């Protein structure tokens, strides 16, 4: 039986401990670097799915670097930005409905805001000081697709869910907000309780199809 002397065993134990400690430190450092890294995180194509049985229209606004899809039987209305500082808007209507089921609009900002700053300075004050009494039910961090030089990555966004009363009727709202290059992007799906439940899945898919591009 070939037994190693105690000195050799001690050296082997020490070397093994050093190797394990080094590996653990390397892994920890890698995780922290990845967490704080600005390197784009690819999005699998399968994460953005649309109901295949529905025909979808593609919409692209080159001036605002955005694209999205919406059901073919929804009616679209484009409202350009005007001299009175009203933002660019695109409204989507159900057939024979006077109020839009969805609104997409882009705000021009006077500074480069982070998403949290956009919420604090532009969105949240409207909830607190608006003419309607809003009940904010959820504010969750999510992401959208951002394509730079043809490469897709994630870009931070908030998903809001809130409600308010309008002429005695409760209106449910699902709203995506994000900010990019001194512009605030907003997508709102809304309706009374029945409409909201009936078309919620389609509204979610329109929001999920939203994408920003940067040449």
What pLDDT, in 10s, does the model give residues 93-124?
998 889 999 999 999 999 999 999 999 999 99
Q: How far apart are CA 21 and CA 27, in angstroms?
A: 10
Specify whether the CB–CB gap between 144 and 155 falls below 8 A: yes
Give the tens place of pLDDT for each residue, 115-172.
999 999 999 998 888 778 899 999 999 999 999 888 999 999 999 999 999 888 999 9
Based on the number of CB atoms within 10 Å of its own CB, is 5 exposed (0-12), middle (13-18) or buried (19 or more)? Answer: exposed
Specify whether the CB–CB gap between 68 and 206 falls below 8 A: yes
CA distances (Å), 169 to each of 15, 48, 83, 190, in order?
72, 33, 34, 12
Q: Residue 181 corresponds to which tokens in the numbers above? A: 């290059």
Mark 133-159 as b/e (b = at least 16 C-beta within 10 Å): ebeeeebeeeebbbbeeeebeebebbb
Q: How far apart are CA 144 and CA 47, in angstroms?
A: 11
132 vs 190, residue with greater confidence? 190
* Residue 46 per-residue DSSP state: G
pTM score, whole prediction: 0.75
Q: Residue 61 corresponds to which tokens in the numbers above? A: 């606004």
Could you say which of 3.40.1000.10, 3.30.300.30, 3.90.580.10, 3.30.750.80 is the CATH number of the domain covering 45-214?
Answer: 3.40.1000.10
E strands present in 32-166: 56-61, 66-71, 75-79, 88-93, 102-108, 135-148, 151-166
Residue-range domain boundaries for the chain:
1-37, 45-214
Give the tens place of pLDDT for each residue, 177-188.
999 999 999 999
3-state secondary structure of 205: helix
């Amino acid at each position: 039986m070939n037994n190693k002397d105690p000195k050799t065993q001690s050296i082997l134990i020490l070397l093994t401990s050093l190797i394990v400690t080094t590996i653990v430190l390397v892994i920890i450092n890698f995780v922290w670097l990845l967490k704080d890294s600005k390197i784009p995180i690819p999005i699998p194509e399968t994460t953005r799915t649309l109901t295949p049985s529905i025909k979808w229209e593609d919409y692209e606004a080159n001036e605002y670097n955005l694209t999205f899809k919406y059901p073919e039987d929804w009616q679209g209305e484009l409202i350009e930005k005007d001299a009175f500082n009203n933002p660019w808007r695109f409204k989507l209507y159900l057939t024979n409905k006077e109020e839009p089921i969805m609104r997409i609009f882009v705000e021009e900002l006077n500074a480069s805001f982070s998403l949290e700053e956009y919420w604090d300075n532009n969105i949240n004050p409207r909830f607190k000081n608006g003419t309607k009494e809003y009940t904010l039910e959820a504010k969750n961090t999510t992401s959208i697709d951002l394509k730079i030089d043809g490469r897709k990555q994630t870009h931070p966004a908030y998903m809001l869910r809130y409600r308010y009363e309008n002429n005695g009727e409760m209106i449910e709202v699902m709203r995506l907000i994000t900010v990019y290059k001194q512009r605030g992007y907003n997508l709102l799906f809304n309706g009374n309780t029945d409409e909201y439940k009936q078309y919620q899945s389609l509204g979610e898919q329109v929001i999920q199809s939203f994408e920003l591009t940067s040449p």
